[in-house]
Amino acid sequence: MILISSCMAGLATRYDGNDAYVPALDQLVRAGKAVLACPEQLGGLPTPRPPAEIVGGDGYDVLDGKARVIDANGRDVTAAFLKGAEQTLKLARAVGAKQAVLKENSPSCGSSFIYDGTFRGEKQSGAGVTTALLERNGIQVISEAELAHLFPEGSI
C-alpha cells in the first residue's frame, strides 16, 4: 500500500480549494493499491485556507521545535501541521505503507523543495513537516516529479 497526497488523486484539498491531479496516482487508488491523505486537513485546517510556509528552516526543524509554520495572514499554524503529520503517520502505519508520493513544494508534503518562508514565491531545498515525520519513521517519500522512479512505465 502506498500513501498519496489526496490532491494528486483529484480531490480539491489544496490550500486554494483546487487539486493537483496526476492520472497515474488516481489509477493506483482505483486499483486499491493506495490510500489518500491530506495532512493539512487531518490537522484540522479548512479548505480553502491561507497559504502557509515554514519560517526558519524546513520540516525537520519544525519537528525539532526550531522553525514554525506561518500562514499568509501571519497566523502560527505549526500545531495543525504537526497534528496532521502525526495523523498521516498513524494512517500510513495502519495500512502498512512503506512509501508515499506527496505533493512537492508543500509545507506539509514537499520532499525536495518547499517555499522559503518569505511568501515571495521563492523555493528552497528542504522537506515539509509530514515528509520529515514519515522519513524519520522509515517511510520513503517521493514527489510527483520522481514518480517514474517508483513506478516504471507500464508497472501500475
Q: What is the pLDDT of residues 84-113, one digit of tens each?
A: 999 999 999 999 999 999 999 999 999 999
The CA–CA distances, whole Å, from 135 to 32, 86, 102, 139 equal: 23, 12, 12, 5
Q: What is the pLDDT of residues 113-139, one digit of tens each?
A: 999 999 999 999 999 999 999 999 999
Rounded to two decimals, the pTM is 0.94
Judge whether residue 152 has pLDDT over 70: no
Instruction: Walk across the sheet containing 34-37 and list its strands.
Output: 34-37, 2-5, 99-101, 140-142
**Cα angle: 25, vertex 29, 35; to 5 degrees:** 105
